[in-house]
Chains A and B, each alone.
Chain A
Amino acid sequence: MSYKALDFLSYDSLLREEELAVALEVRRWVGERFLPLAMEAFETDRFPFELAREMGELGLFGATIEGWGCAGLSHTAYGLINRELERGDSGLRSFLSVQSGLVMYPIWRYGSREQQDQWLPRLAKGEAIGCFGLTEPDHGSDPGAMVTRAEDKGDHFLLNGAKMWITNGSVADVAVVWAKLEGVVRGFLVEKGTPGFTAPLHRHKFSLRASVTSELVFENVRIPRSAILPGVEGLKGPLGCLNQARYGIAWGAIGAAQACFDEALRYQQQRTQFGRPLASFQLQQEKFADMLTAITAAQGMAIRLGQLKDEGKLGPAQISLAKRNNVAMALQVARTCRTMLGANGVSLEYQTGRHLLNLESVYTYEGTHDIHTLVLGQAATGIASYA
């Protein structure tokens, strides 16, 4: 039996025909091409890179960009892509978030024409892979305190420092690295293989295992003057990128929750205990009712977020609201579904456990749940409780 995506309030009927067509085609691709590899990818701690080109051919990367071979879709369609990919695995969605929101977006938005022409077509096709280096060993939630720095040496910049927890770091052809130049945060495009630049892997993750995570180390790395992103200065550069990716995560988390819900529902309809299907017991039905409500509420937020973004009216605090709510919702749903599968809930032969483990990362990256709480606290009260 194939996957049935929960859509209790018929949100799909609010979509434009081509947006729905995009969602269904990506859903089909995930089911046919990714899910058969998902368990093995998670167990062996590997992203199935053979799929990157296919994703490129489908046009998933940089899908909202017009030109350079990109599809020029609405932000709502981009959200739907995130949802469908994360129904497969948060690692698969992370791959897209980084490539589209954190690499192609800053090159498109802040890059020079030469940088755009050099990178966007190859990134769109999945021929080149990108990564985004903001977090440092000693500076996570507070990126403004970063110590990675670039020095102006006349005909080149000299880069020193380190970044931590960088998705796709070891495999990226180009790293978008945020570093301070004379005390001001600037973006730099650092190419793989540049002398002094290494990217060792983070091993032993129990979450997002189907996604490469690495450290980036810069020791006296000479980068050409043409490698600086000319269009932005200060923290608003990286934060602008994070807004793109967080918007996608607010949608993506729904996909993970829908996948868990679908699996738990099928399981409890089929498995009998005490002579009755598990789904017939009131205790279990309450869980279904709560999850149905929570997922449906999150879907409403996502679709409204999409409308606002397509109208160009979406603000960062609104994105924080949905990222925070929807990821926490998905984590709760995954935990509940995990229990509903009994012992099978701890087996990777079922998807739910994998989603549960993945969502622990999603809860922490792109602004931790707490940080978004602080953003909302400030939005509600007008008082910033952090610097």
Chain B
Amino acid sequence: MRIVVCMKRVPDTESVIRIAPDGGAVDTADLNYIINPYDEYAIEAALQMKDADDSVQVLLLTVGESAAESTIRKGLAMGADEAVLLQVPKDLSDPLGTARLLAEWLKANPADLVLAGKQGVDFDHGAVPGMVAELLGWAGASSVCALACEASHATVEREVEGGRERVRLPLPCVISADKGLNEPRYASLKGIMGAKKKPLAVVDCAAQSGALGSLEAPPARPAGRVVGQGAAAATELARLLKEEARVL
């Protein structure tokens, strides 16, 4: 069985995001990158299947700029067998463009199962896995919190209002992982050393990539106001919430 895990790098969730002076990109100078946390659940799910069955092969597939390589190596250090970087000049924030590149590659390089995180924590589109399934004409399930795979089917569970939904999909299919699916492992030091030697192929996709329009920071919030002190403030606060903010 061959599992492809779509993963991307994202800025560390603690990062302060600044927009570059030209307004066309995020200023990446001070950013640390990590594997998108939802993708880690997808990688872990694939590795658990590999742990249970030696014949399972896990390939990491990334659309991104060349600097994404060191983040991909982290995924290899966790235990994936090989990786492919579909290299574009700049990390994309265009879900359809990304999905097209992934689907194109998957058409030429068949997989039994495609896993991904349910969304990137950078742009939070949450659109790519579904689009990849659609472009390939495969079944898809999003935001799964449980996953079991047999020879020709996958069974997944999704958190839905008031309960869990169980879905059975024929393979090949595209499944996106939610928090709670598993507890991603740390990369072992041996894994980190071994990752250097694992194959990481780079495919130049510059010609097919789209470009981002523009970015704006959210408007600065106006300063707060102190409405008074002690018990008197409570009445005044209630009045303002009712009359000015109109939230009561």
By a beta-carbon cutoff of 8 Å, the part of chain A in contact with chain B is: 1-2, 17-18, 21-22, 25, 28-29, 57-60, 63, 70-73, 77, 81
Contact = CB atoms under 8 A, between A and B. Distances in A.
Nearest to B13: A2
B186 A28 contact: yes
A17 B195 CA distance: 11
Contacts of B74: 21, 25
A34 to B, nearest CB: 12
30 contacts: A1-B14, A2-B12, A17-B73, A18-B193, A18-B196, A21-B73, A21-B77, A21-B187, A21-B192, A21-B195, A22-B189, A22-B192, A25-B74, A25-B77, A25-B187, A25-B189, A25-B192, A28-B186, A57-B188, A58-B186, A58-B189, A59-B188, A59-B189, A59-B191, A60-B189, A70-B190, A71-B192, A72-B190, A72-B193, A81-B189
Interface in B182-206: 186-193, 195-196
B70 interface: yes
Contacts of B77: 21, 25
A57 B196 CA distance: 19
Nearest to B32: A24
B6 to A, nearest CB: 22
Nearest to A4: B14
Given A1-B14, A17-B70, 11 more contacts: A18-B195, A18-B196, A21-B74, A21-B77, A21-B192, A22-B189, A22-B192, A25-B187, A58-B188, A59-B190, A71-B190
Interface string B77-99: 10000000000000000000000
Nearest to B185: A57
Contact of A73 (B14, B73, B193): B193
A56 to B, nearest CB: 10
The 10 closest A-B pairs by CB, nearest first: A59-B189, A71-B189, A2-B14, A59-B188, A71-B190, A59-B190, A21-B192, A25-B187, A18-B192, A58-B188
Contacts of B190: 59, 70-72
A19 B231 CA distance: 58
Contacts of A17: 70, 73, 196
For A22, A60, A63, A77, the residue with the greatest tally of chain B CB atoms inside 10 Å of its CB is A22
B16 to A, nearest CB: 10
B139 to A, nearest CB: 35
B14 A25 contact: no
Interface string B6-20: 000000101000000
Contact of B193 (A2, A57, A60, A71): A71
A60 B77 CA distance: 15
B77 to A, nearest CB: 7
Contacts of A28: 186
Contacts of B193: 18, 71-73
Contacts of A1: 14
B70 A73 contact: no
Nearest to A63: B189
Nearest to A56: B188
B219 to A, nearest CB: 24
Nearest to A70: B190
Contacts of B196: 17-18
For A63, A71, A77, the residue with the greatest tally of chain B CB atoms inside 10 Å of its CB is A71
A298 B129 CA distance: 48
A71 B70 CA distance: 20
Contacts of B12: 2
